[in-house]
Amino acid sequence: MDRLAFTPIGVIHTPYQHLQDMPIQPAGAKGAVGTIVVEEAYAEGLADIEGFSHLILLYFFHASKGYELKVKPFLDDQIHGLFATRAPRRPNPIGLSIVPLLRREKNILHVDCIDVLDGTPLLDIKPFVPEFDAPAATATGWLEGKANLARRLRSDERFRE
Amino acid sequence: MDRLAFTPIGVIHTPYQHLQDMPIQPAGAKGAVGTIVVEEAYAEGLADIEGFSHLILLYFFHASKGYELKVKPFLDDQIHGLFATRAPRRPNPIGLSIVPLLRREKNILHVDCIDVLDGTPLLDIKPFVPEFDAPAATATGWLEGKANLARRLRSDERFRE
């Protein structure tokens, strides 16, 4: 298929310089404040974003190289299909985090619960809207009863390459 | 910044050949069944996905060209910053839909509530996990009281180019 080219619209700055010991989801990163510096050329597009309590961040997993189709994720000791996990090494390594917006200063967004490496390239920001994004009555397969472990579990280097 | 190249991992087939009169969110597409054909090379990565009731689809808005930083979205008659909307014309036109998984047949996923054009290139599939993806106590700015309109509102051609 055709290759598609994307260009980052900004950079996410965070307290995490290394994959080791980083939170694996926003739920485990409460109090970890990140700074999203959107390129000034796009600042006008941030108007009205401060009305939203939570943002969907799409970003590039820049520290992840390659991928395997079967992986042992952080939250289990069993192997699962890659697309049934949130592992960062993916054919298209696009990450997704939903984080609370603390405040905006012009082209800079301060967010809580950031769970990405410092210097992560930002691809898109969308407002989180529960009516669109939070279906009721969900089942979560192998993650059933394990997802809340993400509140305390930390990452390691396994998905670097 | 550097350009990043992604290659679709499959194609989403849907009942929608035209932007006109298409649902604008999965909430307005109940009963609209889509077929996600993942390239066979990636089929192994779908193992265990059938345990999840809902999938996060990331895809390329292939019918959207260019973007403007201020837009009048489908759900309002006021102009808002692009990143405070879900409009498809974006600097990186990556779409996100959370849809119920009906069943898997090898490399083919049947999903309900599909809200994308037929032939949409698929970039990634992630399992939807409410503990990661559905924060409580949210505020939705200009969309407050309007988001449920997405259950019946249909799109038009405004975001084609």
Tell me the ipTM for this assembly: 0.94
Among chain B residues, CA nearest to A38: B83
Residue A3 resides in a domain:
no
Residues B20-31 have pLDDT tens digits of 888 888 888 888
Residue B150 resides in a domain:
yes
Considering only the beta carbons, identify the residue of A46, A70, A142 that sits closest to B83: A46
Binary contact (A81, B49; C-beta < 8 A): yes
Residues A99-137 have pLDDT tens digits of 999 999 999 999 999 999 999 999 999 999 999 999 988
- pLDDT for A1: 61
Q: Strand, coil or helix: what is B130?
A: helix
Residue B156 has pLDDT above 90, yes or no: no
Give B136→chain A minimum CA distance, Å.
Answer: 9
Mean pLDDT, chain B, rounded, equals 93
Print the domain residue range for A95. 10-153
Using the Cα atoms of residue B40, residue B19, residue A2 and residue A80 in order, give the sign of their dihedral.
negative
Residue A159 resides in a domain:
no
* Total domain count, chain A: 1
Residues B77-100 have pLDDT tens digits of 999 999 999 999 999 999 999 999
Residue B159 resides in a domain:
no
Residue B2 resides in a domain:
no
Measured distance CA(A132)–CA(B22) in Å, rounded: 15
Which domain CATH number covers A69? Answer: 2.40.30.70
Residue B160 resides in a domain:
no
Measured distance CA(B100)–CA(B117) in Å, rounded: 17
Residue B70 has pLDDT above 80, yes or no: yes
For residue A62, what are the contacts with CB-CB under 8 A and spacing of at least 6?
A117, A119, A120, A121
Residue B52 has pLDDT above 90, yes or no: yes
Residue A2 resides in a domain:
no
A vs B: CB pairs below 8 A: 257
Residue B104 resides in a domain:
yes
Considering only the beta carbons, identify the residue of A54, A125, A133 that sits closest to B83: A125
Give A50→chain B minimum CA distance, Å.
Answer: 7
Considering only the beta carbons, identify the residue of A51, A91, A132 that sits closest to B150: A132
Binary contact (A51, B92; C-beta < 8 A): no
Contact list, A80 vs chain B (CB under 8 Å): 47-48
